Amino acid sequence: MDYGPASAMPPRRILLPVLLALACFARPLPPAAGQQASARNSAEQGRTSLRDSFSGEYEEAVRKAEENATQFRYHFRSFYLSRDEFDGSRKEAWAAGGWIGAKTSYLADRFAFGVTGYTSQHLQGDPTEDGTGLLGPGQSGYDVLGELYTDIKLTDTLHFYGGRKEYDTPYLNRSDSRMTPNTFEAVSVIGIHPVGTGGGRLRYGTGYFHRIKTNNADDFVSMSKAAGASVDRGTVAVGGIYESDDFSIGAIDYLSPDIVNILHAEMKVTLPVSPDWRPRVTFQYSDQRSHGDELLTGGEFEAHQFGIKAEAPAGPLFLTAAWTRAGGDRDLISPWAGHPGFTGVQYSDYNRAGEEALLFRAAYEFESVPGLSAYALQVIGSAPDAATSSRWDEGNLNLEWAPPESWLSDLSLRLRYAHVEEKGPVRRDLEDFRVILNYGREW
């Protein structure tokens, strides 16, 4: 395991009981966005839109600066996953863990430091049913110092970050859909500036990302090796987004020299039909190409995906429809994040070359039970270009209870179920069931 420069990292299986003990001394913090569902937000767990990029780091830093105090965070998570694969094999595990972190106040109103340790420990799961991503190889638990960074306030609207840290952008993010998120060794600059007098603002960021700790890893590897290459290369990312109440547009580019160049762009338009009915339409485009010496595949490649998504309330329901189309001479890749395509859901990404997908989703918030919400979705896919690949249809059911008030307001319980039909020469089925408990606090 990799504890990097912090030799005081707790040894294996100490972090979990510490997480449990700290629950008695903390004040509530809402569950992590990556694990919490929302009837009014159609983004799937572990996937980040461009609209959600660049904001958390700066805005959280400003809030902590205003508090002028060291802040601690604690998050307990229990996760059960059971999957019956297409070939009849089974993957199953139950794990518990989470993370403990702290960030100092700003020294001299300029410098702050953050640290977070992550853990996932085995509760149940046979080594022969490995592969859920909740634990390490062979259903082993792990501990890792995932964050150890400095935050330098260059100006009131611009911050520098250096070290190990969480980030969220479409193709480089926490991908928080298992026990612990991705984190990165990087240097970055992130800022936000108002634009005009109408409430518009520009959020932007750039950075060099050297290594990544993936969801169930206890060490960091180079960005290029995480992508599948045999050499060590980092990744440069630069992007920004302009947003106002009814409109946003932006793009971000990722370059891993001699490996891959990825461009992702999004535009969202809200239609103010009436004060109570404001449907929105979002467009996205991704382009991926080989670069330089083409060390990822040994040859030139190109892949792209276009998508459109419409969202609107309809009485007590929130409805979503989306369509995506992937093209090029290979499948799209997403080695440093969950794939950001609009039709990527619990199991399937629908990002294979030549694959089209159509999604329908209906979400509902139960007024009679505060914090209880549910959604159902169906994705209908087409056959990819590869003759050996079959088309997939996937349906998801999701139920979550996250009480907004009361002594349970720091708790979230989520049930997820997916059924995937593979329609090829032989029809096969896959079933994926998950139970996720989050309990987060800060003080």
Of residues 213, 101, 195, 108, the one with CA closest to residue 153: 108
Task: Note whether 421 and 392 are within 8 A (CB).
Answer: yes
The predicted pLDDT at position 441 comes to: 84
Read off the CATH number of the domain in which 374 is found. Answer: 2.40.160.10
The predicted pLDDT at position 272 comes to: 85
- Supply the range of the domain harboring residue 369: 15-442
Task: Note whether 443 and 67 are within 8 A (CB).
Answer: no
Alpha-carbon distances of 81 from 96, 125, 130, 395, 430, rounded to whole Å: 12, 10, 11, 17, 13
What are 11-39's pLDDT values in tens digits? Answer: 444 555 544 444 434 333 334 444 554 56
The predicted pLDDT at position 27 comes to: 38
The predicted pLDDT at position 60 comes to: 58
Q: Domain for residue 2, yes or no? A: no
Q: Determine how many CB atoms are found less than 10 A away from the CB of residue 17.
A: 11
Which phi and psi (to 5°) does residue 128 adopt?
A: -75, -10
Q: Domain for residue 179, yes or no? A: yes
The predicted pLDDT at position 34 comes to: 47
- In three-state form (DSSP H/G/I as H, E/B as E, the rest C), the secondary structure along the chain is CCCCCCCCCCCCCCHHHHHHHHHHHCEECCCCCCCCCECCECCCCCCCCHHHCCHHHHHHHHHHHHHCCCEEEEEEEEEEEEEECCCCCEEEEEEEEEEEEEECCCECCCEEEEEEEEEEEEEECCHHHCCCCCCEHHHECEEEEEEEEEEEEEECCEEEEEEEECCEECCEECCCCCCCCCEEEEEEEEEEEEECCCCEEEEEEEEEEEEEECCCCCCCEEHHHHHCCCCCCCEEEEEEEEECCCEEEEEEEEEECCCEEEEEEEEEEECCCECCECCEEEEEEEEEEECCCCCCCCCCCEEEEEEEEEEEEECCEEEEEEEEEEEECCCCCCCCCCCCCCCCCCCCCCCCCCCEEEEEEEEEECCCCCCEEEEEEEEEECCCCCCCCCEEEEEEEEEEECCCCCCCCCEEEEEEEEEEEEECCCEEEEEEEEEEEEEEEEC
Q: Domain for residue 4, yes or no? A: no
Q: Determine how many CB atoms are found less than 10 A away from the CB of residue 298.
A: 10
The predicted pLDDT at position 3 comes to: 40
Question: How many whole angstroms separate alpha carbon 188 and alpha carbon 44?
Answer: 26
Q: Determine how many CB atoms are found less than 10 A away from the CB of residue 286.
A: 24
Question: How many whole angstroms separate alpha carbon 57 and alpha carbon 139?
Answer: 33
Alpha-carbon distances of 258 from 212, 235, 351, rounded to whole Å: 18, 10, 23
- The distance from CA 123 to its chain's CA centroid, rounded to whole angstroms, is 24
**Any residues with CB less than 8 A from the CB of 50 and at least 6 apart, and which?**
169, 170, 239, 241, 248, 250, 251, 252, 264, 265, 266, 284, 340
What are 358-406's pLDDT values in tens digits? Answer: 999 999 999 899 999 999 999 999 999 998 999 999 999 999 999 988 7
The predicted pLDDT at position 12 comes to: 43
Q: Domain for residue 10, yes or no? A: no
The predicted pLDDT at position 41 comes to: 75
**Any residues with CB less than 8 A from the CB of 352 and at least 6 apart, and which?**
326, 331, 332, 384, 385, 386, 389
Residue segments in the chain with a per-residue pLDDT below the cut of 50: 1-13, 18-34, 37
Q: Domain for residue 337, yes or no? A: yes
Q: Domain for residue 210, yes or no? A: yes
Q: Domain for residue 209, yes or no? A: yes
Question: How many whole angstroms separate alpha carbon 216 and alpha carbon 324?
Answer: 29
The predicted pLDDT at position 38 comes to: 58
Number of domains in the chain: 1
The predicted pLDDT at position 1 comes to: 43
Q: Domain for residue 141, yes or no? A: yes
